[in-house]
Structure 1
Amino acid sequence: MFSLRFFTLLFCSALFTIVSGQNWYTVEWDAPSFTALSGDMVVPKLPQPGGTPYVWPGVQSGDGVLQAVLDGRSGTWWIGDGFFGTPSLPWGNGFNVNPGDTVHFSFTLSGSSTWTCTLSSNGKSASTTLNITGSTMNRAIFAAELYDVPFNFGPIVYRNVQITATTPASQWCGSTAHLGSYPFTVSGNTASGNTCRIASITQNNA
């Protein structure tokens, strides 16, 4: 369903290049191993018809990416959880949302490989459990992944974000990377134990 996302992201992260017809706009944190990610996403307006817009938070390893993907291909927004990479797993559950809705998302690791993913918004909810073996999630990503769609439908806003790792958040909470030349803001970073709390992330139109 999202067969090019992970491998293209790795390519772009390594070379900082843009493939024709495709653009990435990200905010990212790196740590040796992430164990949880949660927050509230405010659903942006839909771009004009045509092309393929994906908007998502997620965690990535060298083997794949675990995502809550806001998918606008059909002309309406649908959000669902899934993992693309190795092992190959069926896509998870989701539901339709509208611009202006707030979606709470969470990814939580239990044991060494079981991730529980939840989504909720306006009385709708979805839960997916994925056994992702052999993956150490070492990058947390907030991405707009656009195929033949200009980034003119923002801002994309996240609030009450929490990212937890196996190492002290003071080592990584204040350091961000990004892809794409565009205006974004990250505010209210606070490190407490192994958790980084971020008041808001705003990804503005490119």
Structure 2
Amino acid sequence: MMLAVLTLGLGLLISSVCAADWYTVEWDATQFTAMSGDLVVPKLPQAGGTPYVWPGLQSGNGVLQAVLDGRSGTWWIGDGFYGTPSLPWGNGFNVYPGDTVHFSFTSSGTTWTCTLSSNGKSASTTLNSNFVCITLQHTLTTSQLTNVPFNFGPITYNNVKITATTAASGWCGKTAHLGTYPYTVTSATASGNTCSISKIVQNNA
């Protein structure tokens, strides 16, 4: 179960934003090396506040993430690393409810490449993992809401693949979560070091 302090998408450490509510689905391994999948963009919350939705890979000093940001009243998605050291945010684009965004985090040597694509739009960000973080120990799908009730969604991820340095049979079938809410994980299958998940659905609370 993930007990490390979580970091916020495009934001501050959790300890400094007490009003934020977290709804996560999490996996834990010694070190993750890749993650990809398709995020279906949900409807925006009806009220104001600050909604973030993101898949990410977390280490002890930060998180590599693709953040769906609804602060402006329109969804925008971008990728990058938030944590220590502080890095400039990556590239992104606007998306709309019902769109599907393919996200990918892949490592090669000391380099992480983050890519996003949807309806002909794409963005890519490259980071040096020696500078950013060596061991990405947690992977998670997250709804992070400040002054926003979780009354929208569902938030759906399809065709998720997660790869680690250890056999997926040891962690693929074990999930943890934050928040009291209904969620489902469908067809989590281990093959070698990769866990393939048909669907993750975060239903509203």
TM-score surpassing 0.5? yes
Q: CA RMSD in A?
A: 1.5
Q: Flag as ranges the 4+ runs of structure 1 deviating above 3 A.
A: none
- Paired residue type of 2:11: S
1:26-68 CA-to-partner distances (Å, cap 9, x unmatched) read 0000000000000000000001241000000000000100000
Q: 2:188 aligned with 1:180, yes or no?
A: no
Q: Percent identity?
A: 74
- Scaled by the length of structure 1, the TM-score of the pair is 0.91
Equivalent-residue separation in structure 2 for 1:84 and 1:185 (angstroms): 27
Q: Which runs of 5+ in 2 are unaligned?
A: 1-8
Q: How many residues align?
A: 195
Q: Which residue is 1:129 aligned to?
A: 126
Equivalent-residue separation in structure 1 for 2:11 and 2:68 (angstroms): 15
Q: Which residue is 2:28 aligned to?
A: 30
Equivalent-residue separation in structure 2 for 1:196 and 1:68 (angstroms): 19
- Paired residue type of 1:132: S
- Paired residue type of 1:66: L
- Scaled by the length of structure 2, the TM-score of the pair is 0.92
Alpha-carbon contact 2:10-2:67 (below 8 Å) kept: no
1:145-185 CA-to-partner distances (Å, cap 9, x unmatched) read 00000001110000000000000000000000000000000
Matches within 5 A, 1:21-100: 21-100=19-98
Instruction: Give 1:20 deviation, angstroms.
Output: 4.9
Equivalent-residue separation in structure 2 for 1:86 and 1:24 (angstroms): 21
- Paired residue type of 2:127: L
Q: Which residue is 1:138 aligned to?
A: 137
Q: Which residue is 1:166 aligned to?
A: 165
- Paired residue type of 2:94: N
1:63-118 CA-to-partner distances (Å, cap 9, x unmatched) read 1000000000000000000101122211000000000000000000111x311000
Q: Which residue is 1:205 aligned to?
A: 204
Equivalent-residue separation in structure 2 for 1:82 and 1:183 (angstroms): 28
Q: Which residue is 2:6 aligned to?
A: none
Task: Give the alignment partner of residue 117 of structure 1, picking from 74, 94, 114.
Answer: 114
Equivalent-residue separation in structure 2 for 1:40 and 1:120 (angstroms): 9
